[in-house]
Structure 1
């Protein structure tokens, strides 16, 4: 096993042990607390909050991916090219307004809890996926498209069998960036009563318990590193397969 793989595995194992048995790490946080204060977050299950955090991020990223990739495909077709400026304006909404402002607007419409956080993450995650989809599709070699036409493929077949596979590494890079942004941004969802790791951080800030803040931050950071590496590995696998496919093309 390569050293980098061993480090990733160790980080994953450490994260799993910490969120399932946080009490085992109490001795590490005791120097950071005032006498009588709890060393480990005790207002809920770290494991449950981590799963809820990941659930919200995954659902929002899935929704962002579906819309952003669909828009990217649409504006790279001749019939949709004129809508590119409008599409860019739409996907930029999430980056134009800070997430806390989106939450403030969403709460009166959908109420407190996970829904406004989902809306904020969904809007915030559109731009990187859309731009990478656009870049990936516009960089498909014209020779590949000509070869596909020569084989008798129609427009749909060229999209599914040629363009999207060639653009996949770039699309995955956009999804990776979107997920990393969402993992950090999701912590503010606790300000509107959404369950997640932000709840641990906010509880620490409210009680002046540095240990709580550090625990929530460390779990989010470890998740971000592991997800970044995992999706990066998928990108490299897709790129290698793409390279082999191109080498095998007559």
Structure 2
């Protein structure tokens, strides 16, 4: 029997797909929120296209953040890289130290308007949770397990890819999930520098004092967060189950 959580997930997916592909069907919901004959449904672009653009930049930045953060996490847990841990932490904290809007302000004069400065801001903002979870996952691997692997004749590289990373995977995935969910909302600010995304809907609503637009942009972002969180949580649980039930941890 399908659990209630699964039912809720599929209902959220159905609602999202219906809204971004045929938003006019929901006119009756948003019409009471408008004034002075303002349009109840966002009409300055395709919600489907904006949603896809939003997801593309979020997942693109998450992919880049994952490559760099996981690589750094591995490096500083090797004997040759331990002394670089403080420096690495300082680097990945840049995105959290400076608000994304400040990163955009610095990036725009250097790379221009559009998706690029938004990508840079999301990339920096997403580094910390992935790095810290990678570090946590690898350092929590039991020394006895590593000694047993060493006793079996496994090389340092073999222990890393055959023991440490597989055991740390649920924790690393939790960091990636956290990074993506945070950046789904953060990416809306990209529209302030002409990046295509759902922030465009929200900003249009704020500029025209149209609450319906604001809610539409917020609704799609919220549904995306619920759906993606559900998918990534399932992946984490699957990884944990393959490790004999070892639970994943997040920041």
Regarding TM over 0.5, the answer is: yes
Question: 2 CA distance for matches of 1:35 and 1:68?
Answer: 50
- Measured after TM superposition, the shift of residue 134 of structure 1 is 0.2
Question: 2 CA distance for matches of 1:42 and 1:218?
Answer: 16
Partner of 1:49: 50
> What 5-or-longer segments of structure 2 have no aligned partner?
247-251
Partner of 1:135: 136
Partner of 2:38: 37
In the TM superposition, what whole-angstrom CA distance separates every residue of 1:165-200 from its partner, at most 9, and x where no partner exists? 000000000001000110000000000000000000
Aligned pairs (5 A) from 1:56-135: 56-135=57-136
In the TM superposition, what whole-angstrom CA distance separates every residue of 1:113-171 from its partner, at most 9, and x where no partner exists? 00000000000000000000000000001111111111111011110010000000000
Question: 2 CA distance for matches of 1:143 and 1:9?
Answer: 43
Partner of 1:170: 171
Partner of 2:203: 202
Partner of 2:241: 240
Residues 1:193 and 2:199 are matched in the alignment? no
> What 5-or-longer segments of structure 1 have no aligned partner?
246-250
Question: 1 CA distance for matches of 2:150 and 2:34?
Answer: 68
Q: Say which SS state the counterpart of residue 243 (structure 1) adopts.
A: coil
Stretch of structure 1 that moved more, 221-230 or 130-139: 221-230
In the TM superposition, what whole-angstrom CA distance separates every residue of 1:41-80 from its partner, at most 9, and x where no partner exists? 0000000000000000000000000000000000000000
- Measured after TM superposition, the shift of residue 244 of structure 1 is 6.3
Q: Say which SS state the counterpart of residue 153 (structure 2) adopts.
A: coil
Partner of 1:248: none
- Measured after TM superposition, the shift of residue 107 of structure 1 is 0.3
Residues 1:18 and 2:26 are matched in the alignment? no
* TM-score under structure 2 length normalisation: 0.96
The aligned length equals 245
- Measured after TM superposition, the shift of residue 212 of structure 1 is 0.2
Question: Stretches of 4+ moved more than 3 A in 1?
Answer: none
- Measured after TM superposition, the shift of residue 243 of structure 1 is 1.1
Q: Say which SS state the counterpart of residue 244 (structure 2) adopts.
A: helix
- Measured after TM superposition, the shift of residue 35 of structure 1 is 3.3
- Measured after TM superposition, the shift of residue 99 of structure 1 is 0.5
Question: 2 CA distance for matches of 1:18 and 1:47?
Answer: 9
Question: 2 CA distance for matches of 1:156 and 1:108?
Answer: 42
Question: 1 CA distance for matches of 2:221 and 2:81?
Answer: 39
* TM-score under structure 1 length normalisation: 0.97
Stretch of structure 1 that moved more, 139-148 or 197-206: 139-148
What's the Cα RMSD here?
Answer: 0.9
Residues 1:7 and 2:8 are matched in the alignment? yes
